[in-house]
A = this chain, B = another copy of it.
Amino acid sequence: MTLTARPTEATTVAHDRVFRHLRSRIMHGDLPPGQALTLRGIGKDYNVSMTPAREAARRLVAEGALTMSSSGRIATPELSNDRIEELAALRALLEVELASRALPRAHMALIERMQIINTAIADAVQRGDAVAYIRTNLEFHRTLYLRAQAPAMLAMAETVWLQMGPTMRALYGRLRRTEPPQFHRLILAALKAGDEPGLRLAVRSDVTQGLRMLAG
């Protein structure tokens, strides 16, 4: 807690470390849907007692990253098709708005960074690395949305990503993707052209494409 010497690291509190690490794993599809977790197990993984494990679990449940049965057992969520559709609609709503707000502030340096990330996505796809694919894909989006200067909106978008994390991984396995997302090129083109309607369409298409593959 008092180790303020390290500049980049915030709090070193145990429950927060557990929370952040677990959150990242879930968001990036490191855990399959329906994966059961136990407080004692989490505690053992991170060398802490049940207390910090419980607090991390609580926060994750509150964010929808984990579900709790009536008896208190915790697991990653198994989403129904309706829920997946709804979350995709939420992504479309939120991310189109975020992209739109970021557009006036998206200069060339940002677009170039996004292009580099896009090549990393292609890498992950070629390696068939689902976790790396999800992580870099979200990084692509987050890089843009950070420019929107809308932290509450970005937090909501991340909450949606979090809820979809385990399912995204399962979906990736079914998609057998061989190429990077086609709509990323459209997003980058619209950004360069300052074309807002085009950007909105491209983002909406990108965030709902997985859904279309699921339904089709």
Contacts and interface: CB of A to CB of B under 8 A. Distances in A.
Nearest to A59: B62
Interface string A144-175: 00000011110110011001000000000000
Interface string A96-128: 010000000000000000000000000000000
B90 A153 contact: yes
A149 B72 CA distance: 26
Contacts of A150: 86, 89
Nearest to A92: B97
A13 B163 CA distance: 25
Task: Give the size category of A's interface with B.
Answer: 20 to 34
Contact of A55 (B55, B70, B94, B163): B55
Looking at A62, A87, A156, the one whose CB has the most chain B CB atoms below 10 A away is A62
Contact of A54 (B55, B62, B63): B55
A58 interface: yes
A183 B119 CA distance: 49
23 contacts: A1-B62, A13-B72, A58-B58, A58-B62, A59-B62, A60-B62, A62-B62, A62-B63, A63-B63, A64-B152, A83-B151, A86-B150, A87-B152, A89-B150, A90-B152, A90-B153, A90-B156, A93-B93, A93-B94, A93-B97, A152-B160, A152-B163, A156-B156
A-B pairs with lowest CB-CB distance, top 3: A62-B62, A59-B62, A58-B58
Interface of A: 1, 3, 11, 13, 54-55, 58-64, 68, 70, 72, 83, 86-87, 89-90, 93-94, 97, 150-153, 155-156, 159-160, 163
